[in-house]
Structure 1
Amino acid sequence: MLTAENETKAALPDFFDPGYYINRELSWIYFNQRVLEESLRSELHPLLERVKFISIFSSNLDEYFMIRVAGIEDQYDAGVQERTVDGYTPAEQLEKIRRMVIHQLKLRNDCLYNDLMPAMQREGIEILRFSELPNTQKKSLRAYFHREIFPVLTPLAFDTGHPFPFMSNLSLNLAIELEDESTLARKFARVKVPSILPRLIPLNNIEGFPGSDHNCSVLQFIWLEDLIENNLGELFPQMRIIKSHLFRVIRNADIEIEEDEAGDLLETIEQGILSRRYGKVVRLDITPDMPLGIRKLLMKNLGVTQRNVYEIDGVLGMGALLDLLKIDRPELKDDPFVPHNPIEEEYGQNIFRAISTKDHLLYHPYDSFQPVVDLITKAATDPDVLSIKQTLYRVGSNSPVVKALMRAAEAGKQVAVLVELKARFDEENNIVWARALEDVGVHVCYGLPGLKIHAKLTMIVRREQQKLKHYLHLGTGNYNPATGKIYTDYSLFTTNEALANDVAELFNALTGYSKHTGYLKLLVSPINTRKRVIEMIERESAWSQKSENGRIIMKMNALVDAKTIRALYKASCKGVKIELIVRGVCCLKPGIPDVSANIRVISVIGRFLEHSRAYYFHNGGDPELYLGSADIMPRNLDERIETLFPVFDNTCISRVKSDLDLIISDNVKAWIMNPEGTYSMIESEAPPINSQALFLSRSSRNKTSI
C-alpha cells in the first residue's frame, strides 16, 4: 500500500538529473563576464574604475587558466571520461571554455580600445604607440631605452647550438625573426619583456615629452614591450630585424603536495613555488599577425595544441592596466571614504572593556578593520594577557597583525599561530612571516596533512579578577588590513564561553593530537558543517509544512556542493522561500518549475568584493544565523579546516538580517540568475537601490551622528 510519505517521495523530481545543474567552470566564466560588464557601465563607475575592472577581469582569467583549466587539461591528458554532475566530459568543458573566453576577450578589447582609451584621451591620459611619435620624441625614448631598459634585457638565440629558451609562467615575450647581414641566413631569437620593470612607462618625466618641464596636464604612457620592439636593433647588431611578434605564456601553477612528501611543509611549499615557473603550458597568447611558421615553432616547443592558442589583437596581459589607478586624478576614481569605527567612538582605546560589555559585530569595509588590529596590538602589550592563539591565511606584506604577535612573544606571552602555507599565490608572504614568527619564539604550526586551514579565528586569554577570561575575534575574512578596505566581511568580537570552549578545542586539535569532534556551537569542516547546514535546511522544510513560513537566506562566494543543492531543491519543493546571494560560481539553477521555483539567485558585483558568508534560517520565528569562512563547496566542506560560528546576540542577528534584505533588494549592482544558468541585470520600475552605496551612506551617517 502506498503511504502518504511514499506518495510525496514519488512526486519529487529526480534531483540527480544533470539538467538541474550548471557546470562549475562555465559558471565561473559567467561570473567573470559580470566583472567585465562593470567596465561598460559608464553611468555607475568613474573612468579609471572602469579600467580597473578590465584589469581585474584579465587577472582573474589568468588565474582561472593557471588553476582550473590546468586541472581539466590534466584530466583530458589522463583520458578521463567521467562526466561532471551537470553531464560534461573534460573535453566538452575545454571546448566550451575556449568558445566563451574568445567571445569575452573580444568584448574586453572592444571596450578598451573603442570606449575607454578614447575616453581617457579626452581626459588627458594617453597610451601612445612608438611608431606614431615624432622623430624628436623617438630619439628621446631611444636614449631612455639605452639607459634604463637595454641593460636588463637578455636576447636568447634558438638554433642547433642553442636550445629552445625556457618561457616562465605569465611571461611576455618577443619572438624575433632575424637575417644575418653577412650570410643572409634566417635566425630566430626570443627576448623576454622583463617583469621587474613597469609595463606602462610614464613619459612625462622624459625630455621631449609634455610634462618634462613640470607644467602639463596631459599624462602620456607607452607600453614597455612597444619600446623594446622598436629598439631591437641595439640587441642584434649586424642583424636585420625582419619582424617581431609578441606572445605570452600561461602555465599550470597549482602546487600539489603528496602527504608522504610533506614532512617539512615549509621546504615543500618553497619548492612548489619555484615549480610554478615550469608547469605545463595551458595557454599561449599570440597576436593574429604571427606567421604560421613561428606559431608552429612555439606550439611544438611549448607542447601545446591549437586548443591552447588564443589570438588576441593588441596588448597581451592587461592586468597591468591597474597601474593607471595610481594617477592622481581623484575625479576619475571612486570617492574616498573613512570607515566607521563604532568601538573606538563608544569605548575609546579600551577594546577589552568594549568586548566585555557586549558582543560587537562589524561589517567591513563600511566599519573599520582597525578594531581587529587594535585587539591584537593591545593584547601584545597588556600585562594581564597570558596567551594569544590565531589562524593566519592571507595577511599580506608589512602586516601589523603579525608584528603585534611577534611583540607579544617577545614580551613573554604564549603565542601560537596556525599559518596556512598553502594559501594559493600568498605562499611566499606566509613563508616569510612564518620564519619571522619562529625566530622570536612563536609556536608556529602549519596545519594538518591534506587539509588547508581557512578558518579565521583569534583567541586571547586574559587574567581578570583572579579568573581567566577568553576574548574571541571570529571573522569571515583574512587578517589583512589592505583587503579589509575593499572586501566585505563580518567581524564578531565576543566573550561567549560556549564559543570559547569550542574555539579552544579546535586550536588544541590543530596544534596537538586532540581528535575532538564534539563541537557544541561551532560548525567545523570537515567534521559537521555540511551535516548541520543540511539539517537546518530540512528544518525549514518542516516549518514550511507546518506554517508556510520557511525561509532561508544564504550569502557566499560559491555554491557547488551537490548534496547541499539537492537539499535546497527539496526545500523549495516543500514551499521554503530561498534567497541565495552568490558572488561567483553557482551550480544550482533557480526558477525551474516543480524543482526550484521558490529559489532566487543574485550576484552583486560592485566597488567592493562581496566576500562575507552568512547563513540565515528563519526557524519559525526564532532565527539562527551563522557567519564564517566556509563556502558551500566540496573543498570547503571536506578538504579544509573551516568554521561557521553562530551569532547569539539578537541585535547582531537583526543587523545581519537587515544587511541581507538590503542586498536582496538591490536593483542596480545585482545580477539575477535565469533558470538556464545565465545572468541578466535586474529590470525594475522601483526606485534604484544600490546596496553598497547605501551601506557607505549608512556608515557616513553613523559617523555624523556620534
Structure 2
Amino acid sequence: MNGVFFNRDVNWVEFNARVLQEGIRDDIPVLERVKFFAIFGSNFDEFFKVRVAALRRQWRRGDIKTCPSGMLPSEAVVAIENRARELYSLAYAELKSSLLPALEEKGISVVSPESVRSSLRASMESFFDERIFPILTPIGLDEDFPFINGELSYVYILFKDGKKALVRIPPSVDGVLCFFTEKKRSYHVFTEALVEFFCYKLFPGMEVEDSVVFRIVRDADLSVDEERDEDFIEAMEAVIEDREVSMPVALFIRGNNSSLVSDVISYVSLEEAAVFFAGCPVALSSLFSLYNVNRQDIKNEVWPALLPPEYDEELTIWDNIRRGDILFFHPYHSFLPVIRLVEDAAVDPCVLAIKMTLYRTSTNSPIVAALERAARNGKIVVAVVELKARFDEQRNIAWARRLERAGATVLYGIRNLKVHAKALMIIRNEDDGLRRYVHVSTGNYNENTAQFYSDIGIMTAREDLCTEMGLFFNMLTGYTAVNRLEKLAMAPVNLKERFIFLIDREIARKRDGENARIIAKLNSLVDRDIIESLYRASCEGVEIFLCVRGVCMLVPGVSGLSENISVISIVDRFLEHSRIFYFENGGEPEVFIASSDWMPRNLERRVELLVPVERSFAKKRIIDVLSFYFSDTSHAYCLDDSGSYERVEGVSNRRAQQLMYEYFRMVSDKGGRAGISDGVFNVRRSPSSS
C-alpha cells in the first residue's frame, strides 16, 4: 500500500509548537508557563543539534529523498527554519507582553540594568562585582574570532576606538539571577544582560560603543567508530570532544548593530535562513533557573507520590513481589521502591547476582551506587551500560569505570545497536531454591526524571517472565544465539513482526465480524511498515486510537485510507513517556508495555522489549488509564489531515493527568487490585476529509 505521510522533522516542529502553546496559555500557574518556555528552547536546541544537523549533512551529500513524505532534505530544512522563526518570534513577543508582566503581578520582577531605579542598579552592580566579575575573562580581538563553543553564549563588544572584544557568559552561573529581595518582591536579571551592561568594567579606559549577545548551535549528531573494540570508551570520548568543534547549524543573536551582527554571521558561515534574531535571553532554556525560584504558590499543586496498593512498606521487598505483580505508574507512584529493590539486593546476603541495563541515569544515581556496593560485597553484578545514549555519554562512561573498579562486569552495549530496554533481574538464594525477581519499565532508571516523566514499571517474580528475562540477559551478555521468546518480544529480532502480527490479527477479527480495535500510546510514530499496516487496518474498518506525544508521520482522517484513525497528543505537567499497546482481540483484549516507540531506530537498530500485561488487575488499570487520555479536554491536541493540531475541547474540563492522579489515589486508598473501567473510551477523532 502506498500511503501518505507527514515529514518526520516538520511534524516534530509542531510538537514544539504545542509545548510553546502551554507556555502561552494563562490558565496554568505562571512559573509552570516559564518552564514550558524553557522546555521549548531546550527542545529546539537539541533538535537543531541532531535532526537539523543530520538533514544539512544529507543536503550537502546530494539532497536525496529519504523520507516517505517525499520531501527533500533541503526542503525540510527550509520548512523547519521558517516555522522555527515564526515560533521564536511568537515566543519572544509573548515573553515580553504576557509572561514577564504576569510574573511581575506575582512579585517576581525580571528587570534589565538600564531600566531600574538607581538604588536597584547599585544592588545589581554590587552583585556583579562580587559574584560575576571575578570569573569573567575578556578576550581582545585583533582580526579573527577565537573558537566559539557551541554550548555557551558570548557578548561581542565594539569600542569607540574601533577595537573589538569578546566576553564569554560563564556556564557555571544560572541564566537568571536574583540580586535583591524586598518585602514580598524579588528582583531578577538575566545573566547575559548583567554581563553585557557591566562589561565595560573589564576594559578600564575604554568606552563601549555597542554590543551584541549571541550563541552558536553546533552539530551534535556525530557517530562513534563501532569497530574500536579495544578503545571504545576512548572513541566515545573523542565523539564528545568533536561536538565542541563541529559545524554550526544555527546562530541566535541579539543586537541591532549591523556591523557586529554581520561580523558574527560571517564567522559562522551560515546562510541567512539559519540566523535567528533573538530577544533576551538569547537561550530560552535559561528560564529553567527562573522556574526554580522558591514560589510553590505559583507552581502546580504538589501531588505527593503514592504507593501502589500491591506494595506494603511493612514487608520486605522480596515478600512484596512474591505476593504478586506490582504495577507502578510514575510519577504518580513513588520511584523509591525501585531504588529500594536495588539497594536491598546490594546488602542482602541471600542475593547472588544482579543484572541490569542502564541507558540514562542521574548524576548521583543511588541505583548505580547500589550496584557498585553490591559488587564490593562480592555479588555478581552485570551492568549493560549504553555509552551511546546521546548527551549522557560522559556520565555513563564515568559510571562504567566506577563499576568496573568495584568489580562489576560492565558491557558497553552491543556493536551497531543501542541497548534501550529498561530491565533489572536479581537472583536470590531462598529456602526452596533460586528465585529470580524482575523489574521492567518503559522509562529509565533515573530517580530525577521519574518525578516528571510518565512511565510504567512492573515488578514480578512470575516464573514464565523471569525465565524469559534470564534468556534476554544471556543474549545481551553472552552473545548467544537468539532464543525463542514466547511472552516477550525483542528488537531487533522480532518486535516489528510481533506488532504487525497483532495489527493483522485485528484485521482478521474485523473480517470475521468480531470486535476489533487498536489503541496505542507512544512518543513517536515514524516506521513506514507499521503506518502502512495501520492504514490497512483502517481500510478494513478497525477503529484505531493513537496518543502520540511527539512525531507522527501517519496522516489521520483521509477518506479511503485512514478515516478510522484518530490521533491526539497530550502536553501537560508531566512528560508523557510511557508506551502502551492495546489490541481488542475479539473481546479478549491484550495489553503490552514497551521501551520502544514505533520508529525504525527502535524496531531495527536498538535492543528493546515488549512485555505483556496479563494480570487482570494490572490490565484493567492500564485500560482505565488509556480511557483518561482519550477523554482529555484540557491538555489534548487533535491532529488533522493537514498536519495541524487543534486543542480538544468539551463541555466538561477533563484533564487526563489529574484524573489519573485522583484515580491512583483512590485505588491506593481502597487498597485493592481492581480497576474501575467500564470499558468505554470517550475518544474523539478529526473528521474525515472528503
Task: Indicate the TM-score class for this superposition, using the shorter chain for normalisation.
Answer: over 0.9
606-615 or 269-278: bigger deviation: 269-278
Q: 1:332-364, CA deviations, whole angstroms, 9 ceiling, x for partnerless residues?
A: 011112221136853623221121121121111
Amino acid at match of 1:125: I
Task: Provide the residue aligned with 2:676 in structure 1.
Answer: none
Q: Distance in 2 between matches of 1:263 and 1:585?
A: 37
Task: Provide the residue aligned with 2:657 in structure 1.
Answer: 692
Query: Residue 258 in 1 paired to residue 222 in 2?
Result: no
Report SS of the residue matched to 2:163. strand
Residues 69-88 of structure 1 aligned to structure 2 (within 5 Å): 69-88=52-71
Task: Provide the residue aligned with 1:176 in structure 2.
Answer: 157
Residues 500-511 of structure 1 aligned to structure 2 (within 5 Å): 500-511=466-477
* Equivalent of 2:441 in 449, 458, 475: 475
The 4+ residue runs of structure 1 with deviation greater than 6 A are none
When residues 683 and 198 of structure 1 are mapped into structure 2, their CA distance, relative to the original with a 3 A threshold, is closer
Task: Provide the residue aligned with 2:506 in structure 1.
Answer: 540
Amino acid at match of 2:216: V
Q: 1:279-300, CA deviations, whole angstroms, 9 ceiling, x for partnerless residues?
A: 1111111125131x33332223
Task: Provide the residue aligned with 1:219 in structure 2.
Answer: 186
Task: Provide the residue aligned with 2:18 in structure 1.
Answer: 34
Amino acid at match of 1:259: E
When residues 236 and 288 of structure 1 are mapped into structure 2, their CA distance, relative to the original with a 3 A threshold, is closer
Q: Distance in 1 between matches of 2:321 and 2:120?
A: 62
Amino acid at match of 1:32: N
Task: Provide the residue aligned with 2:29 in structure 1.
Answer: 46
Report SS of the residue matched to 1:261. coil
Residues 332-481 of structure 1 aligned to structure 2 (within 5 Å): 332-342=298-308, 346=312, 348-481=314-447
Amino acid at match of 1:81: I
Task: Provide the residue aligned with 1:531 in structure 2.
Answer: 497
| Maintained 8 Å contact 2:309/2:668 | no
Task: Provide the residue aligned with 2:568 in structure 1.
Answer: 602
Q: Distance in 2 between matches of 1:652 and 1:439?
A: 40
Amino acid at match of 1:266: I
Amino acid at match of 1:172: S
* Equivalent of 1:64 in 43, 47, 65: 47
Amino acid at match of 1:103: E
Query: Residue 701 in 1 paired to residue 682 in 2?
Result: no
When residues 114 and 577 of structure 1 are mapped into structure 2, their CA distance, relative to the original with a 3 A threshold, is same
Q: Distance in 1 between matches of 2:290 and 2:539?
A: 50
| Maintained 8 Å contact 1:343/1:371 | no
Q: Distance in 2 between matches of 1:310 and 1:76?
A: 20
Q: Distance in 1 between matches of 2:424 and 2:492?
A: 20
Shift of 1:118: 0.7
Task: Provide the residue aligned with 2:677 in structure 1.
Answer: none
Q: Distance in 2 between matches of 1:340 and 1:72?
A: 44
Q: 1:221-276, CA deviations, whole angstroms, 9 ceiling, x for partnerless residues?
A: 11222222222222223323111111111111123112223532222222222222
| Maintained 8 Å contact 1:388/1:415 | yes
* Equivalent of 2:176 in 200, 219, 223: 200
Flag the structure with larger Rg. 1
Q: Distance in 2 between matches of 1:375 and 1:349?
A: 12
| Maintained 8 Å contact 1:517/1:527 | no
| Maintained 8 Å contact 1:343/1:354 | no
| Maintained 8 Å contact 2:383/2:411 | yes
Report SS of the residue matched to 1:231. helix
Report SS of the residue matched to 2:151. coil
When residues 345 and 563 of structure 1 are mapped into structure 2, their CA distance, relative to the original with a 3 A threshold, is closer
Shift of 1:665: 1.4
CA RMSD of aligned residues (A): 1.6
Q: Distance in 1 between matches of 2:513 and 2:333?
A: 37
Q: Distance in 2 between matches of 1:544 and 1:610?
A: 31
When residues 336 and 683 of structure 1 are mapped into structure 2, their CA distance, relative to the original with a 3 A threshold, is closer
Shift of 1:594: 0.8
Shift of 1:517: 4.1
Query: Residue 573 in 1 paired to residue 535 in 2?
Result: no
Task: Provide the residue aligned with 1:165 in structure 2.
Answer: 146
Identity of aligned residues (%): 38
TM-score by length of structure 2 reads 0.94
Q: Distance in 1 between matches of 2:121 and 2:628?
A: 55
Report SS of the residue matched to 2:436. strand
Runs of 5+ in structure 1 lacking a partner? 1-14, 181-185, 205-209
Runs of 5+ in structure 2 lacking a partner? 672-690
Residues 149-160 of structure 1 aligned to structure 2 (within 5 Å): 149-160=132-143
Report SS of the residue matched to 1:259. coil
Report SS of the residue matched to 1:108. helix
Residues 232-247 of structure 1 aligned to structure 2 (within 5 Å): 232-247=199-214
Amino acid at match of 1:149: I
| Maintained 8 Å contact 2:332/2:664 | yes
Shift of 1:538: 0.3
